[in-house]
């Protein structure tokens, strides 16, 4: 078990899925956890479950000011920011390019790409002033392979992967560790939306093929350790058996 006692972690999109599982995993590892999401009620429920080491930060990552406020609130509550998990994301609109509503397409990038930038932009100066930290961004196989109906999601995830490379290039000398996690398909509400769409092969996967959210959460913990340093600026692919063995998951 990774020991993060005394560490301070900010997780976006913490109200459900991978974000909620990560909040529980980091808290179990001894970290103080700041839960950020648009649904104050949902993150409030999780914070009560986790106890005094958790705080609730209503936040829309599409708004830089709200992300910056979340970073400041985390530092105010816990004295520092050791880890940021850029997790918040949406899958919709699911639509072919010729049919996509431009406003909906842009709104998806506001969350999935600009939201990730906002996290880097808000956290990196704070971490640099505190001799470093770790920024983990949830990526996807969609960052590298086009999927029918997912042009907004694929484009944003590809951009987020490049942001991780840029953050590593610019931040490593300041002690900032930037890595991405490509978790494969995970049994979350997002997968239910994908399945209901009936678009592209992912929607036709059997539910048993999706990994539980606890798996990527455990991988995120491992990525905070020196054992993951070979992946700085890159992605950790949870689909790879060798990675699962290193994380301590069934391979």
- Residue pair 195/151 in contact (Cβ under 8 Å)? The answer is no
Decide which of 1 and 125 is more confident.
125
Marked catalytic residue, from 7, 114, 153, 165: 153
pLDDT at position 20 is 96
pLDDT per position as a tens digit, 71-127: 999 999 999 999 999 999 999 999 999 999 999 999 999 999 999 999 999 999 999
CATH number of the structural domain spanning residue 31: 3.40.50.720
Structure tokens, 83 = 């880890």
pLDDT at position 207 is 81
What does residue 101 show for φ and ψ, rounded to 5 degrees? Answer: -80, 120
Tell me whether residue 157 is one of the annotated catalytic residues: yes
Q: Assess if residue 84 is contained within a domain.
A: yes
CA dihedral 193, 39, 167, 220 (to 10 degrees): -70
Whether pLDDT at 199 is above 90: no
Q: Assess if residue 1 is contained within a domain.
A: no
Radius of gyration of the CA atoms of the chain, in A: 17
The pLDDT-based confidence of 188 (bands split at 50, 70, 90) is: confident
Residues above pLDDT 90, as percent of the chain: 88
The pLDDT-based confidence of 251 (bands split at 50, 70, 90) is: confident
Q: Assess if residue 24 is contained within a domain.
A: yes
State the number of CA atoms in the 13 A half-sphere of 251 facing the CB.
9
Marked catalytic residue, from 80, 157, 192, 195: 157
Quote the CA–CA distance of 126 and 148 in Å, as a whole number: 39
| Range(s) of the domain holding residue 94 | 8-247
**H or E element: which one contains 35?**
strand 32-37
Q: Assess if residue 137 is contained within a domain.
A: yes
pLDDT at position 97 is 94
Beta strand 83-86 with 133-138 is parallel
Least confident window among 59-68, 81-90, 203-212:
203-212
- The whole model's pTM is what? 0.94
Q: Assess if residue 17 is contained within a domain.
A: yes
Least confident window among 51-55, 159-163, 203-207:
203-207
Structure tokens, 27 = 């808290």
pLDDT at position 140 is 93
Triad 63, 40, 71: Cα angle to 5°: 45
Instruction: Give the count of domains, the chain.
Output: 1
Average of per-residue pLDDT values in the chain: 95
What does residue 179 show for φ and ψ, rounded to 5 degrees? Answer: -140, 155
Q: Assess if residue 3 is contained within a domain.
A: no
pLDDT at position 124 is 98
What average pLDDT score do residues 151-180 get?
Answer: 97
Measure Cα distances from 121 to 179, 187, 211, 237, 244 in Å. Answer: 15, 30, 31, 25, 31
Q: Assess if residue 201 is contained within a domain.
A: yes
Residues above pLDDT 70, as percent of the chain: 100
Whether pLDDT at 198 is above 90: no
Q: H helices of the chain, where?
A: 17-28, 40-50, 64-78, 102-109, 115-129, 151-171, 189-197, 214-223, 241-247
Q: Assess if residue 2 is contained within a domain.
A: no
Tell me whether residue 114 is one of the annotated catalytic residues: no
């Amino acid at each position: 078990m990774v020991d993060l006692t005394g560490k301070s972690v900010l997780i976006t999109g913490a109200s459900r899925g991978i974000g909620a599982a990560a909040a529980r995993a980091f808290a179990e590892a001894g970290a103080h956890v700041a839960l950020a999401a648009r649904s104050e009620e949902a993150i409030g429920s999780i914070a009560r479950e986790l106890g005094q080491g958790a705080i609730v930060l209503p936040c829309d990552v599409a708004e830089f000011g709200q992300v910056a406020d979340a970073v400041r609130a985390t530092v105010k509550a816990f004295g520092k920011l050791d880890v940021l998990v850029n997790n918040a994301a949406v899958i919709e609109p699911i639509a072919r390019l010729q049919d996509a509503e431009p406003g909906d397409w842009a709104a998806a990038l506001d969350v999935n790409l600009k939201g990730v930038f906002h996290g880097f932009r808000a956290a990196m100066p704070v971490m640099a002033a505190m001799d470093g930290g770790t920024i983990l961004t949830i990526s996807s196989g969609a960052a590298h392979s086009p999927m029918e109906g997912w042009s907004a999601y694929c484009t944003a995830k590809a951009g987020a992967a490049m942001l991780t490379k840029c953050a590593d290039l610019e931040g490593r000398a300041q002690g900032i560790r930037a890595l991405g996690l490509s978790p494969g398909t995970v049994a979350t509400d997002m997968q239910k939306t994908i399945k209901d769409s009936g678009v592209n092969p992912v929607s036709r996967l059997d539910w048993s093929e999706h990994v539980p959210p606890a798996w990527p959460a455990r991988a995120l913990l491992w990525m905070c350790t020196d054992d993951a340093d070979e992946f700085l600026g890159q992605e950790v692919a949870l689909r790879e058996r060798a990675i699962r063995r290193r994380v301590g998951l069934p391979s």
